[in-house]
Amino acid sequence: EAAIRYGTMAKMNPPLREEEDRLAIIQGLADGTIDIIATDHAPHTTEEKARPVTQAPSGIIGLETALPLAITGLVNEGYLTLSRLLRLMSTNPANLYHLDAGYLAENGPADLVLIDTAAEVIPGNYASKASNTPLTGWSLKGKVVKTMASGKVVYSSEEVL
């Protein structure tokens, strides 16, 4: 259904699956079988995605939509707590790769993302140079307000620094 509705904007590897598969992934996230959420940010040009479905490359952008989509579809639907989601997207990946990240502590790395979980986000005005995603125009919750790396603001919803 998604492939018909969104065409090449929904073409990705692995491909979108059936509802029972989506629910099984959610169950795995909820029960700890799956312990990380990550994106494979795969930008493609408008020209590439305009090709016939058999010739268009697979992949969608995900960096700007992952958190609002997860807040909307997992937290706000009651599948995960916000705390669990944030562990899945920060602490757990940092631990897997032995990174000094994913936590708050005095003299820590000071990498932070400030989120307004109630704010509406409508994907469409992307900071990425690509816009290949079926999520354009969706109403999602969870606006990234600021991002800090090593204690410095590197993104603000008002401007990209």
User: What type of residue sits at position 32?
Assistant: G
What pLDDT score was predicted for residue 13? 87
Across the strands, what pairs with 141? 120
User: What type of residue sits at position 79?
Assistant: Y
User: What type of residue sits at position 106?
Assistant: E
Reference 94, options 79, 106, 111; nearest CA is 111
Q: Which two tokens stand for residue 153?
A: 């603001």
Contact by Cβ (8 Å): 50, 121? no
What pLDDT score was predicted for residue 153? 94
Q: Which two tokens stand for residue 54?
A: 């058999």
Dihedral pair phi/psi, residue 160, rounded to 5°: -95, 125
What pLDDT score was predicted for residue 144? 93
What pLDDT score was predicted for residue 161? 47
Whether 40 sits among the annotated catalytic residues: the reply is: yes
CA–CA distance, 66 with 45 (Å, rounded to integer):
20
What pLDDT score was predicted for residue 158? 75
CA–CA distance, 148 with 71 (Å, rounded to integer):
20
> Which residue is catalytic, options 21, 31, 35, 40?
40
Ordered mean pLDDT values, 10 residues apiece, the chain (161 residues):
79 89 96 95 93 93 94 98 96 94 88 94 90 95 94 82 47
Q: Which two tokens stand for residue 137?
A: 């125009």
